[in-house]
Structure 1
Amino acid sequence: MVSGRSTTRRAERRRFGAAVLALLACTALPVSAADCGKPVYLTFDTGHMEVAPLVAEVLARQQVKVTFFAANERTKVGDGSLGDQWAPWWKARAAEGHAFASHTWDHVYWRADMPGEPARFRVRPSAGPEEGRDEVWTAAQYCDEIARSATRLRAITGQEPLPLFRAPGGKTSPKLLAAARSCGWAHVGWSPAGFLGDELSSESVSNAELLARALRNVRSGDILLAHLGIWSRKDPWAPAVLEPLIVGLKERGFCFRTLREHPQYAGWIAGEGTKTR
């Protein structure tokens, strides 16, 4: 016997699929740069990378440019998200005009500021040889960690990464941000409505709910956050939600830009970050 809950779940997925098809059937043409009065800034952090080829297909089809924040994370296939197997994927994205920035190398979480001076931080990598171990780093060590990812991106893509970084989990402190900025790296978080929810449990919130929430709440100027694969979500957000979200936002008059054009970071990217490093 099929349970009522299973029947409801299947019906919900059918409705979601129908909504996706309806959105794709009336895809709006890309908004030209001259007409862009409502920019949003879609960003992707690395993840297990299984969905990365599908994400790239959607972005190319919709003619949308994004900013990728990359760390060398564990992947389902290959030797890490910035390893040799994934290098051609990154190179292809550079050729398409996307932007790149650091997510630290070993996806290192800030845990706490240590007392006293000079600045030191308790951190915990979630990838690499020290995965899961707490360590105490100096500001210089943290700066080197940011730079390591940027150096690898430069070598793979032939493109200069932006002088920006995103701390894993968005976890920072004023002291950490000041230390990073002193060595040329400005931090980028995301807008409240820009948390697209792909890290949430699919048992607690469906793709249909996440799509509806984003289309309802995203506003002009928002920085949006998604990932190239989340291990814990059973019903993957990408690419299922990605294309209808892009289409729906275009229909509402939004256009997509990389962080090169974000008013908060454009000046830093143009000179200040490069001068500091």
Structure 2
Amino acid sequence: MRARPGSKSSQAAAALLLAATTFPAMQPASAADACKGTIYLTFDTGSQSQAELIADTLRKHRIKATFFLANEKTVRGDWSLDPSWAGFWKARAAEGHAFGSHTFDHVYWKRDEAGGRMVVKPQFGAHAGKQETWTPQQYCDELRRVDTRFHELTGRRLDPIFRAPGGHTSPNVLAAANSCGYRHVGWAKAGFSGDETPSEVYPNALLLKRALGALRDGDIFMAHMGIWSRKDPWAPANLEPLIVGLEQKGFCFATLREHPEYASYFKQ
């Protein structure tokens, strides 16, 4: 059946065409070809509306990515680290992806205080929306809550990395996390997917063109597994065209376990 203009399928087809026409003379790198560079795809939890699509797309292209997990409200009406998501996370672990903490209650840093303390604001959980002053130990405990739940769901542990919500860190946050074995991972400027921005201002075609033109070897790319506020979701239109376009440029993909800035940390 032919996709009607404006439909999700026609938008995805248009995005794939954009990726193909942007680099028409290039072909996907074969296994025998050396990679011209490596891109590190990372995904933070979110509404989880795109979780299955992301998993299917990565599997289709045989790509390993890195996921940062928080216990967020999902479009199913449950939470992303509920037992109902055990099968999903077990499958991703079996596929060889890497996993880090995103703080259990998606806790935003607000400011540092004396003595290593920090003011934070959880987005979810019993203290959602309330500013609290935490000690370094409390921040460590929050990071480890994700590890504990992930182990309950999958039988394996997180990798020794975390991503602060919004990417907002501070000397106290980093010191606290390092004291309990977690290293922070941000993303490259060119690696910001823009999936949190208003689609009316930053349409998917613009975001795709920007990423394909700007990403370079070693860049960490960040997107979410669903954003509540964006009217035209990023992943259905852009994820596969982005992968195809990068493959046509000769890029390969890997988890942060292989990233030169983080590989040694994984071995500690």
Q: TM-score, normalised by structure 2?
A: 0.90
Q: Which amino acid aligns with 1:141?
A: Q
**What does residue range 69-80 of structure 1 map to in structure 2 within 5 Å?**
69-80=68-79
- In the alignment, the residues of structure 2 paired with residue 155 and residue 149 of structure 1 have an alpha-carbon distance, to the nearest angstrom, of 10
- How far the C-alpha of 1:21 sits from its partner, in A, is 4.6
Deviations 1:147-168 (A, max 9, x none): 1102212222223311000000
- How far the C-alpha of 1:19 sits from its partner, in A, is 4.2
Seen in structure 2, the aligned counterparts of structure 1 residues 15 and 80 have a Cα distance that, compared at 3 Å, is: closer
Match among 232, 249, 254 for residue 251 of structure 2: 254
* Residue in 1 that maps onto 2:237: 240
- How far the C-alpha of 1:75 sits from its partner, in A, is 0.9
* Residue in 2 that maps onto 1:94: 93
* Residue in 1 that maps onto 2:40: 41
**What does residue range 59-70 of structure 1 map to in structure 2 within 5 Å?**
59-70=58-69
- How far the C-alpha of 1:66 sits from its partner, in A, is 0.3
- In the alignment, the residues of structure 2 paired with residue 33 and residue 186 of structure 1 have an alpha-carbon distance, to the nearest angstrom, of 34
* Residue in 2 that maps onto 1:155: 152
Number of residue pairs matched?
260
* Residue in 2 that maps onto 1:110: 109
Q: Which amino acid aligns with 1:181?
A: N
* Residue in 2 that maps onto 1:50: 49
Whether the 8 Å contact between 1:28 and 1:247 is mirrored in structure 2 is no
* Residue in 1 that maps onto 2:202: 205
Seen in structure 2, the aligned counterparts of structure 1 residues 33 and 46 have a Cα distance that, compared at 3 Å, is: farther
- In the alignment, the residues of structure 2 paired with residue 187 and residue 270 of structure 1 have an alpha-carbon distance, to the nearest angstrom, of 16
* Residue in 1 that maps onto 2:176: 179
* Residue in 1 that maps onto 2:13: 17
- In the alignment, the residues of structure 2 paired with residue 174 and residue 135 of structure 1 have an alpha-carbon distance, to the nearest angstrom, of 18
Seen in structure 2, the aligned counterparts of structure 1 residues 15 and 52 have a Cα distance that, compared at 3 Å, is: closer
Whether the 8 Å contact between 2:122 and 2:131 is mirrored in structure 1 is yes
- How far the C-alpha of 1:96 sits from its partner, in A, is 1.1
Comparing 56-65 with 211-220, which one deviates more in the overlay?
56-65
- How far the C-alpha of 1:54 sits from its partner, in A, is 1.1
The DSSP-based 3-state class of the residue aligned with 2:235 is coil
- How far the C-alpha of 1:142 sits from its partner, in A, is 0.2
Residues 1:140 and 2:145 aligned together: no
The DSSP-based 3-state class of the residue aligned with 1:238 is helix
Whether the 8 Å contact between 2:109 and 2:120 is mirrored in structure 1 is yes
Q: Which amino acid aligns with 1:81?
A: S
* Residue in 1 that maps onto 2:167: 170
- How far the C-alpha of 1:15 sits from its partner, in A, is 7.5
Whether the 8 Å contact between 1:100 and 1:153 is mirrored in structure 2 is no
Deviations 1:197-252 (A, max 9, x none): 11110010110110000000000000000000001000000122000000000000
- How far the C-alpha of 1:35 sits from its partner, in A, is 2.3
- In the alignment, the residues of structure 2 paired with residue 45 and residue 15 of structure 1 have an alpha-carbon distance, to the nearest angstrom, of 24
- How far the C-alpha of 1:23 sits from its partner, in A, is 4.8
Deviations 1:29-60 (A, max 9, x none): 56549823401100000001111111111111
Seen in structure 2, the aligned counterparts of structure 1 residues 203 and 184 have a Cα distance that, compared at 3 Å, is: same
Comparing 238-247 with 19-28, which one deviates more in the overlay?
19-28
Whether the 8 Å contact between 2:28 and 2:249 is mirrored in structure 1 is no
- In the alignment, the residues of structure 1 paired with residue 261 and residue 236 of structure 2 have an alpha-carbon distance, to the nearest angstrom, of 29
* Residue in 2 that maps onto 1:275: none
Unaligned 5+ segments in structure 2 are none
Identity %: 55
- How far the C-alpha of 1:16 sits from its partner, in A, is 6.7
Comparing 57-66 with 214-223, which one deviates more in the overlay?
57-66
- In the alignment, the residues of structure 2 paired with residue 239 and residue 124 of structure 1 have an alpha-carbon distance, to the nearest angstrom, of 31
Q: Which amino acid aligns with 1:195?
A: F
Whether the 8 Å contact between 1:30 and 1:63 is mirrored in structure 2 is no
- In the alignment, the residues of structure 1 paired with residue 86 and residue 215 of structure 2 have an alpha-carbon distance, to the nearest angstrom, of 32
Whether the 8 Å contact between 1:16 and 1:208 is mirrored in structure 2 is no
- How far the C-alpha of 1:24 sits from its partner, in A, is 7.4
Comparing 151-160 with 120-129, which one deviates more in the overlay?
151-160
Whether the 8 Å contact between 2:15 and 2:237 is mirrored in structure 1 is no
- In the alignment, the residues of structure 1 paired with residue 91 and residue 12 of structure 2 have an alpha-carbon distance, to the nearest angstrom, of 31
